[in-house]
Amino acid sequence: MGCEHVGSDHLLLGLVVDGTGSGAAVLLSAGLTAEAVRRRMMAIGSTAEVASNGYGPSMRNILRLSSQHAETLGDPEIEPEHFVLGLLDRDDGPAMSLLRHFAIEIETVKTSLLQKMSEKTS
């Protein structure tokens, strides 16, 4: 995509493109598609500020939130589902703008994902 950073929108696209796991399943079932996300990203471009590590500010926060979710849920590793939860916890940033553009119901997706994750561990 010609970007010099990894933003939350890139993470969202990667999760949907991968299409595996509970996180991708709830996003896809909410109506999100990789092609739609990719088209929208290309249409709006990216203006995120970039840190020396290549991550935009929202992405750094999502990584922190994802780690917290894994710890809270007692998971030894950060899985894609934790990244989705981290994305959904952000009220701003490129990924949230994309989710809002596609009228994704954030709380519904989050509730569905947490339910799928609890079923997986039961």
Domains (ranges, CATH) in the chain?
8-121 (1.10.1780.10)
Q: Express each pLDDT in 14-69 by its tens digit.
A: 999 999 899 999 999 999 999 999 999 888 875 444 444 567 777 889 999 999 99
Q: Express each pLDDT in 57-115 by its tens digit.
A: 778 899 999 999 999 999 999 999 999 999 999 878 889 999 999 999 999 999 999 99
Residue whose tokens read 């010609």:
2
By CB neighbour count within 10 A (0-12 exposed, 13-18 middle, 19+ buried), where does 116 fall?
middle
pTM of the model: 0.86
Partner residues linked to 55 by β-bridges = 6
Nearest to 3 by CA among 37, 43, 50, 40: 50
Q: Which residues contact 65 (CB under 8 A, 6 or more apart)?
A: 85, 86, 89, 90
Q: Cα-flanking dihedrals φ and ψ of residue 5, to 5°?
A: -145, 170
